Amino acid sequence: MSERFTGNFTQQEPIPEAGIEAALTVLRHGRLHRYNTAPGEIAETALLEQEFAQAMGADYCLAMASGGQTLATALRALEVKPGEKVLTNAFTLAPVPGAIASLGAVPAYVGVTEALTIDLDDLEVKVGDPSVRVLLLSHMRGHICDMDRLMAICDAAGVKVIEDCAHTMGARWKGTLSGRHGVFGCYSTQTYKHMNSGEGGLLISDDDEAMARAIILSGSYMLYGRHLAAPPAEVFERVKYTTPNVSARMDNLRAAILRPQVKALAQQCEAWNARYKVVEDGLRDTPGLTVIERPEAEHYVGSSIQFLLLDWPERAIGAVLERCAARGVELKWFGGAEPVAFTSRYDSWRYAPVEPMPATDRILKGIMDMRLPLTFSVEDCALIARIIRAEVAAVWQAEGAPQEI
């Protein structure tokens, strides 16, 4: 009888008991708004910002209502204007181009490599456009490109970098934490990310004026003095009358839930990577399947795993999806013509112009994606890998190699 997996791909771990107790304390006193404090009290949100800034080695941190709001706020803080072209990855999730479009700016896509990272050769060409000032870089599904080369390209062109680290909280490139290369690092605390508050975001920076703008934008009114991980007061004096309030604050309830998770982040990252390695090793050398090899310079966080079925016809990919699903394994495909749940292609977002990208289209058509929640055991991950391996091999054998179809 064929093995079957019975776990839940969307079930996360419980909130730590310390977070639950802290949340109950906030609920009991009722001061959920970040600026609603008792005399002598420091808000949970301000403490979270201070602790996360320290954990990331950043000067400043701002807690926000969502990861998408961190992206849009970072763009606004760099004074991106309506109609302005902003570079971003062609392989990403909808909130990234959505953040650009929310300002009336225009997403301009950069290609993807077989390593699932931004195509630096394509980037080098596209930063040559003198109208380009900003790159919103997505470390999509936890894959980090050669950040030394990327920053050299962008610095030479005078292009500022915002890092979308929704999938790389705690990851590093050559020892430098993700989010510490650009002007801003943007993180999500949505349920399926590395810390869970249901919805939320964290924005870090060392740039005084950009972060002062971000704090005013977030809806601090004139209460920025209650922030611990913030620029000096004189910086706010320069920007407070010319920066709008878009009200995207995090509340004390979510901050209370998150603070214990900051302390546990390194341990959680290692747990994800242990599961990732079991699946990666189980898939290696499967006929027709390409494992994404991770560079030595990258210390990743394997909360999801991707592999490629390069040049497979759609009917064969569909067969793999159906056969794995029948055995309890939920794979997502980024190559479909229509968006499904969170999977979509750059040409799905019809509010932005697109140019033909055949090399990128070939890779997107082959990307298979799977979550690895920490509710899975290492043994679960070994079973999942066996199921995927068996079903990919069965379809490969039945269909023949793609070039023979």
Supply the pLDDT for residue 1: 52
Residue range 343-349: mean pLDDT, rounded: 90
Residue at a domain's end among 259, 285, 317: 259
Residue at a domain's end among 238, 259, 280: 259
Supply the pLDDT for residue 301: 98
Residue range 363-383: mean pLDDT, rounded: 98
pLDDT, tens only, 55-68: 999 999 999 999 99
Supply the pLDDT for residue 294: 97
pLDDT value at 404 more than 50: no
Residue range 69-95: mean pLDDT, rounded: 97
Q: Are strands 184-188 and 201-205 parallel, antiparallel or unpaired?
A: antiparallel
Looking up residue 304, the CATH number of its domain turns out to be 3.90.1150.10
Q: Is residue 41 part of a domain?
A: yes
Q: Is residue 156 part of a domain?
A: yes
Supply the pLDDT for residue 399: 79
Cα distances (Å, whole numbers) of residue 164 to 139, 161, 178: 6, 10, 9
Same domain, yes or no: 66 and 188: yes
Q: How far apart are CA 213 and CA 84, in angstroms?
A: 19
pLDDT value at 403 more than 70: no
Domain hosting 58: range is 17-259
Looking up residue 169, the CATH number of its domain turns out to be 3.40.640.10
pLDDT value at 145 more than 50: yes
Residue range 178-206: mean pLDDT, rounded: 98
88, 137 contact by CB (below 8 A) = yes
pLDDT value at 94 more than 60: yes
Domain count, the chain: 2
Q: How far apart are CA 331 and CA 324, in angstroms?
A: 7
Residue range 383-392: mean pLDDT, rounded: 98
Q: How far apart are CA 396 and CA 320, in angstroms?
A: 9
Residue range 120-126: mean pLDDT, rounded: 98
Residue range 182-199: mean pLDDT, rounded: 97
Same domain, yes or no: 282 and 245: no
Q: How far apart are CA 195 and CA 316, in angstroms?
A: 36
Residue range 260-265: mean pLDDT, rounded: 98
The residue to which tokens 């320069």 are assigned: 238
Same domain, yes or no: 245 and 379: no
Supply the pLDDT for residue 405: 41
Q: How far apart are CA 201 and CA 116, in angstroms?
A: 24
Residue range 208-222: mean pLDDT, rounded: 97
Average pLDDT, the chain: 96
Give CA angle at 12 (269, 367), nearest 5°: 70
Q: Note the maximum CA span of the chain.
A: 74
Supply the pLDDT for residue 402: 55
pLDDT, tens only, 7-50: 999 999 999 999 999 999 999 999 999 999 999 999 999 999 99
Residue range 373-390: mean pLDDT, rounded: 98
